Protein backbone atom coordinates (compact mmCIF):
# COMPACT_ATOMS: atom_id res chain seq x y z
CA UNK A 1 0.00 0.00 0.00
CA UNK A 2 3.05 2.28 0.13
CA UNK A 3 2.04 3.43 3.60
CA UNK A 4 4.77 4.84 5.84
CA UNK A 5 5.44 3.90 9.42
CA UNK A 6 3.36 6.20 11.65
CA UNK A 7 4.44 5.10 15.11
CA UNK A 8 6.89 7.61 16.48
CA UNK A 9 5.02 10.61 15.09
CA UNK A 10 3.61 13.11 17.55
CA UNK A 11 -0.19 13.09 18.04
CA UNK A 12 -0.52 16.79 17.12
CA UNK A 13 1.19 16.11 13.79
CA UNK A 14 -0.99 13.08 13.04
CA UNK A 15 -4.11 15.10 13.85
CA UNK A 16 -3.03 17.91 11.51
CA UNK A 17 -2.29 15.55 8.64
CA UNK A 18 -5.67 13.84 9.02
CA UNK A 19 -7.38 17.24 8.93
CA UNK A 20 -5.28 18.22 5.89
CA UNK A 21 -6.49 15.10 4.06
CA UNK A 22 -10.08 15.81 5.09
CA UNK A 23 -9.88 19.44 3.93
CA UNK A 24 -8.20 18.64 0.60
CA UNK A 25 -4.94 20.29 1.60
CA UNK A 26 -3.22 16.93 1.11
CA UNK A 27 -4.20 14.29 -1.40
CA UNK A 28 -6.02 16.66 -3.76
CA UNK A 29 -3.22 17.07 -6.29
CA UNK A 30 -3.86 14.86 -9.34
CA UNK A 31 -0.25 13.63 -9.20
CA UNK A 32 -0.48 12.59 -5.54
CA UNK A 33 -1.56 9.00 -6.13
CA UNK A 34 -0.86 7.81 -2.59
CA UNK A 35 -2.35 10.91 -0.99
CA UNK A 36 -5.52 10.29 -2.97
CA UNK A 37 -5.66 6.84 -1.39
CA UNK A 38 -5.35 8.30 2.10
CA UNK A 39 -7.97 11.05 1.78
CA UNK A 40 -11.01 8.71 1.90
CA UNK A 41 -9.52 6.91 4.91
CA UNK A 42 -9.18 10.22 6.77
CA UNK A 43 -12.73 11.15 5.79
CA UNK A 44 -14.02 8.20 7.81
CA UNK A 45 -13.03 10.02 11.02
CA UNK A 46 -16.10 12.18 11.39
CA UNK A 47 -15.44 14.02 14.66
CA UNK A 48 -12.51 15.80 16.32
CA UNK A 49 -12.70 13.19 19.08
CA UNK A 50 -12.30 10.36 16.56
CA UNK A 51 -9.24 12.09 15.10
CA UNK A 52 -7.74 12.57 18.57
CA UNK A 53 -8.42 8.94 19.47
CA UNK A 54 -6.71 7.63 16.34
CA UNK A 55 -3.75 9.96 16.89
CA UNK A 56 -3.47 8.88 20.54
CA UNK A 57 -3.62 5.22 19.54
CA UNK A 58 -0.88 5.62 16.94
CA UNK A 59 1.27 7.63 19.35
CA UNK A 60 1.21 4.87 21.96
CA UNK A 61 2.37 2.16 19.54
CA UNK A 62 5.94 1.03 20.16
CA UNK A 63 8.43 2.48 17.71
CA UNK A 64 9.69 -0.07 15.23
CA UNK A 65 12.80 0.13 13.15
CA UNK A 66 12.28 0.85 9.47
CA UNK A 67 14.44 -0.87 6.89
CA UNK A 68 17.21 1.14 5.30
CA UNK A 69 16.71 1.24 1.53
CA UNK A 70 18.62 4.39 0.56
CA UNK A 71 22.30 5.15 1.05
CA UNK A 72 24.35 8.25 0.54
CA UNK A 73 27.22 10.26 1.96
CA UNK A 74 26.61 10.64 5.68
CA UNK A 75 28.88 13.69 6.11
CA UNK A 76 27.30 15.58 3.23
CA UNK A 77 23.87 14.64 4.56
CA UNK A 78 24.78 16.00 8.00
CA UNK A 79 25.72 19.36 6.46
CA UNK A 80 22.49 19.48 4.43
CA UNK A 81 20.46 18.60 7.52
CA UNK A 82 22.16 21.11 9.80
CA UNK A 83 21.88 23.90 7.21
CA UNK A 84 18.26 23.27 6.18
CA UNK A 85 16.37 21.05 8.63
CA UNK A 86 17.77 21.28 12.16
CA UNK A 87 16.31 24.70 12.95
CA UNK A 88 12.80 23.21 12.90
CA UNK A 89 13.26 19.46 13.33
CA UNK A 90 15.98 19.82 15.98
CA UNK A 91 19.59 18.69 16.00
CA UNK A 92 18.39 15.23 17.03
CA UNK A 93 15.69 15.03 14.31
CA UNK A 94 12.91 14.44 16.84
CA UNK A 95 10.90 17.49 15.82
CA UNK A 96 9.13 20.00 17.98
CA UNK A 97 5.60 21.18 18.64
CA UNK A 98 7.01 24.71 19.04
CA UNK A 99 8.17 24.73 15.41
CA UNK A 100 5.38 22.47 14.10
CA UNK A 101 7.99 20.06 12.78
CA UNK A 102 7.43 16.30 13.07
CA UNK A 103 9.83 13.64 14.23
CA UNK A 104 12.04 12.41 11.37
CA UNK A 105 13.91 9.73 13.29
CA UNK A 106 13.01 6.25 12.15
CA UNK A 107 10.88 7.44 9.23
CA UNK A 108 10.81 5.08 6.28
CA UNK A 109 13.58 6.43 4.08
CA UNK A 110 11.73 5.67 0.84
CA UNK A 111 8.81 7.70 2.18
CA UNK A 112 11.07 10.61 3.15
CA UNK A 113 12.51 10.60 -0.39
CA UNK A 114 9.02 10.58 -1.90
CA UNK A 115 7.86 13.47 0.28
CA UNK A 116 10.96 15.53 -0.48
CA UNK A 117 10.26 14.96 -4.17
CA UNK A 118 6.58 15.84 -3.65
CA UNK A 119 7.57 19.13 -2.03
CA UNK A 120 10.13 19.83 -4.76
CA UNK A 121 7.55 19.28 -7.51
CA UNK A 122 4.82 21.07 -5.52
CA UNK A 123 2.64 17.97 -5.39
CA UNK A 124 2.66 18.58 -1.66
CA UNK A 125 2.81 21.89 0.15
CA UNK A 126 1.45 24.24 -2.50
CA UNK A 127 -2.16 24.39 -1.29
CA UNK A 128 -3.03 27.93 -0.14
CA UNK A 129 -4.08 26.61 3.29
CA UNK A 130 -0.96 24.54 3.90
CA UNK A 131 0.67 26.74 6.50
CA UNK A 132 3.89 24.72 6.56
CA UNK A 133 4.08 23.52 2.96
CA UNK A 134 5.66 26.65 1.47
CA UNK A 135 8.30 26.51 4.16
CA UNK A 136 9.11 22.91 3.24
CA UNK A 137 9.11 23.72 -0.48
CA UNK A 138 11.68 26.40 0.24
CA UNK A 139 13.85 24.10 2.37
CA UNK A 140 13.92 21.16 -0.05
CA UNK A 141 14.90 23.44 -2.93
CA UNK A 142 18.37 23.47 -1.38
CA UNK A 143 18.77 19.88 -2.57
CA UNK A 144 19.32 20.14 -6.29
CA UNK A 145 20.10 16.51 -7.04
CA UNK A 146 18.87 13.05 -6.15
CA UNK A 147 22.30 12.38 -4.65
CA UNK A 148 21.85 15.25 -2.18
CA UNK A 149 18.45 13.85 -1.20
CA UNK A 150 20.07 10.44 -0.69
CA UNK A 151 22.84 12.04 1.37
CA UNK A 152 20.28 13.76 3.62
CA UNK A 153 18.34 10.54 4.03
CA UNK A 154 21.54 8.66 4.85
CA UNK A 155 22.09 11.11 7.67
CA UNK A 156 18.48 10.75 8.86
CA UNK A 157 18.98 6.97 8.85
CA UNK A 158 21.99 7.45 11.15
CA UNK A 159 19.81 9.19 13.77
CA UNK A 160 17.95 5.96 14.60
Predicted pLDDT of residue 106: 92
Q: Extract the residue ranges of the chain whose pLDDT is less than 70.
A: none
> So what's the pLDDT on residue 64?
86
- Summarised one tens digit per residue, pLDDT across range 66-75 is 899 999 999 9
Q: Where are the alpha helices (DSSP H) in the chain?
A: 11-22, 33-43, 48-60, 74-84, 86-89, 109-120, 133-140, 146-158
Prediction pTM value: 0.93
Domain 11-63+70-158 has CATH 1.10.760.10: yes
Question: Measured between alpha carbons, how far is 76 from 13 in angstroms, rounded to an integer?
Answer: 28
pLDDT score of 131: 87
pLDDT at position 21: 97
CA 87 – CA 90 distance, rounded (Å): 6
Amino acid sequence: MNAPRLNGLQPWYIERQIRYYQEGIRGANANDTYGQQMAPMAAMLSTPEAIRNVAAYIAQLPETRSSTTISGNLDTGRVIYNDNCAACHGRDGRGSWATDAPNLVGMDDWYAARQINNFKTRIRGSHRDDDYGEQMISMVSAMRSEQQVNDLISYLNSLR
